[in-house]
Amino acid sequence: MLKFNLLIMLQNVKRFHFTKSGAFQYCSTLSLQERLRNEIPEESANVSIFKVPGNLRAVEANAYEPNIISIGPYHHGKSHLQAMEKVKWQFFHRLFGPISQGSEEKLEGLIEVMKGLEPEARSYYSEDMKMSREKFVEMMIIDGCFIVELFRDMEKSKDKVEPVGEKQELERKPALESEGKDKPAGGKWELDRMPVFAHGHGFLKRWMLPILRNDLIMLENQLPLPVLCKLFGLTNRIPATPSCSSVQKLALNFFSPLMPGAAKSPQQSVSDNRENDAKHFLDLFRSSILPGEIKREKEPYLFRSMVELKEAGIKIRTGSENRKPLDIKFESGVLKIPPFSIKDYHCTLYRNMVAFEQCYKACQPDVTRYLFFLDGLINSAKDIELLHYAGVLQHSLGSNKHVARTVNKLCREVSREVDDSYLSDVVRSLDEYCNEPWHRYRASLVHNYFTNLWVTVSTAVAAILVYLAVLQTCCDLSGRHDSLQQFGFWKLVVKSFIIPFSHSLSITGPVSQFDESQEFIWLYS
């Protein structure tokens, strides 16, 4: 093979005639070929953890930057995240500290497994990390052990998140001693028996939990899910229970407060296939809120706000509690939208899911389509008010006007894809409903004459005045004829307009017998 390569090189050199320009051209060709191989490597099918594009980051940079903890290589080593590194090591110490039996052998086995996973784990990141193999493996182990232990602790301390201080420790002492558990030489009870919110051991404080959820769901702050699954299996010290059978189920339970109802009912938990296909926590949680199999077609453009839909006679309801958060339906003039919230951490979640969908080609941008749909519904504070009173929208961002601006910014700098949309039937049905003649006339009438209280009162007063004027005209016309019985039309008109006052009228003879003074009796008697 070597001789063959030398022969090819000699032929190439001979072709360039050993001239100075020929040699330069030959070297340039080799340089371009080398750069073509190195500068544009083949993209792995695993790539799913991306750096957020600059145009999205420019809209709201804080939505993509972790606040207290770094997971993975993108934010590793940043100065403002160093405080949590100590907590990570404390969690790691619980698993492989000197107290644990056989911890050294387990740790050595874990390191070997992680070294084997290192090339695959790197292939999940879109950026080339300038990190040595040893450093990368250490980062995966420390970050991964922290995550799986945090999830286990949260599952064990479910509904028991009160801090454990000295008083609580004293209260637990008799029970522990009765079980034959003595206090260790260090003067503290075993760390693995203390809940995650123990203050005395430098563990997580209560205020950290919402921020941790926010940080651990960010696109740039992820570890590959296969790495976490392997760590979960190698560090599992207790028999698996239905709620702790996999790291995916623990993750969904941990992140469920970000979008209440996302994974509570059986219909809203992701299938086994989706669990296995998910690349990381953000992808997993996103999969858990998507609707099931649904017909996908090109989505028509619809930019009708909630106010316009209400004017056309459309009602809005929250729909069934078992529906997934993105499952929107329109049936029989009723638009059913599952309840959703707009708070600071919800905006972070939405922005990161949109960024993931914009970068990851293998997924449908359903969250992006959902947010574009909401963007079309919400144009003003009045739209927010209608959604809030219907029980669909909850927010804690201040005024309705501010919430409307926030929703409208969620898809800024994002391209809208209308092909293969799961909302195509909903949008088309809304458009057809609003374009029906009666609904269009109704919308025009409501928009022009019933937009607010004063316009409504003015319209009602004007209608009453017109009614009285027509009534007076009919009375005048009826008095000019010898007998109203001879004119069926006038009789019909008079009956039509005087029916509301029939209880105060007493007509015993022909209408022609009444004089002008009696006409007032018809109206005011």
The helix or strand, by DSSP H or E, that contains position 466, with its residue range, turns out to be: helix 453-479
Q: How high is the pLDDT of residue 133?
A: 94
Residue 519: the pLDDT is 46
In this predicted structure, what is the pLDDT of residue 266?
42
Determine phi and psi for 394, rounding to 5 degrees: -125, 140
- 253 is written with which tokens? 């339970």
Q: What was the pLDDT predicted at 468? A: 74
Q: How many CB atoms lie under 10 A from the CB of residue 356?
A: 25
Place of tokens 């017998």: 513
**How do beta strands 329-331 and 334-336 pair?**
antiparallel
The three-state secondary structure class of 366 is helix
Q: Which residue has the tokens 């020929």?
A: 22
DSSP string, 168-193: HHHHHHHHHHHTT-PPPTTSS--GGG
Looking at residue 30, its pLDDT comes to 60
Q: What is the mean pLDDT of the chain?
A: 76
d(CA 507, CA 504): 10
Specify the pLDDT at position 68.
94
- Closest residue by Cα to residue 167 from 139, 199, 123: 199
- What distance in Å separates the CA atoms of residue 470 and residue 490, rounded to the nearest whole number? 12
* Nearest to 387, CA basis, from 318, 488, 301: 318
Nearest residue to 196 (alpha-carbon basis) of 245, 250, 149: 149
Q: What's residue 137's pLDDT?
A: 96
How many C-beta atoms surround the C-beta of residue 304 within 10 A? 18
Question: Which parts of the chain have pLDDT scores under 70?
Answer: 1-43, 98-102, 158-203, 237-244, 260-276, 321, 437-459, 471, 474-525
Please report the pLDDT score of residue 440 as a whole number.
60
Nearest CA-CA partner of 208 in 200, 198, 218: 198
The whole-angstrom separation of Cα 280 and Cα 349 is 14
Residue 28 has a pLDDT of 63
Angle value at C-alpha 119, between 113 and 125, nearest 5 degrees: 120
Cα–Cα distance for residue pair 314/398, rounded to 1 Å: 27
User: Tokens 């390191």 map to which residue?
Assistant: 111
What is the model's pLDDT at position 237?
66
The pLDDT value recorded for residue 213 is 94
Any bridge partners for residue 340, and if so which?
A: 393
Q: State the pLDDT at residue 479.
A: 58
- Identify any residues that bridge with 49 across adjacent strands, giving them in sequence order: 125
